[in-house]
Amino acid sequence: NPKGNMEGVEKAEELISKQHRKEKKDLQAKIQSMKNAVPKNDKKRRKQLTEEIAKLEAELTQKHEEELKQLKDTVATDTEDVAANGLENLVLDSEEQKDVKQTRVSKAQKRRDKKAALEKERETRIAEAEIENLSGSRHLEQQKLSKMLAERQLQIKHIPSDGHCMYRAVEDQLQERGGSYSLEQLRGRTAQYMRSHIDDFLPFLTNPNTGDIYTPDEFENYCNDVANTAAWGGQLELRALTHILQMPIEVIQADSPVVVIGDEYEKAPITLIYMRHAYGLGEHYSSVEPLKEETNEEDS
């Protein structure tokens, strides 16, 4: 029944449009709450807030576009099914056709409702987390680091939190000096150096379950992880890198003095940022770059 199909499509479009309007309204309410939580005279927090709001709005727009596309795809599939099974549908009595249609709509609607509910819950968690971050330990740590770096005419250059952050930060600093070490080369050379200087590193590695110093096999597995996986790097790997690069590495932290590793080398150090609260997973390394002039921001 083409007329019935069209009515069903129009009803589905009306429902999804209504849902989208409600979600936009809910998001605007959350955004207003986020704005109210930040003083208008705090330029940095307002700037961060503007970025987070833009991110939330972009995610909602993308979600709505995907749902509309899914609806169109469902309609197209249903139309093809009707054409392919036209003869079969003719022999179904009217009651059977009604049952089939109701079942199909019900399952599709349940899937859409479930997806919408999950997305709404996710958006709520994101909004709440961002509000908390504006006054939480992550934000305070970033404020301290920004102030420390500004005194050097520097700012944080963010590095992805993917397990490779320390090596990526070193790679970024070397590229600024015209270096050509890749992430893979840095990991491979670090593992190679640690293997060839086992006595310098083995005493500092212990089995977390027993507390015993690593066995040679455990140490080899550790080095394999350094070379071939996204295992996080720390002070031991930085120590190896200073010898490989023949230059110091300074690490700036918010609540501790600057640490310089490899200060026996006379070259100017490369600079990393160590953050304890940057991500939910915990510790994170970033790079630095020259301080950029801040643009004036209109309060809204």
Catalytic residue ranges:
162, 165, 284
Contacts of 267 by beta carbon, 8 Å cutoff, 6+ apart:
246, 247, 248
Instruction: Return d(Cα 141, Cα 254) in angstroms, integer.
Output: 6
Instruction: Give me the half-sphere count of Cα atoms (radius 13 Å) on the Cβ side of residue 48.
Output: 18
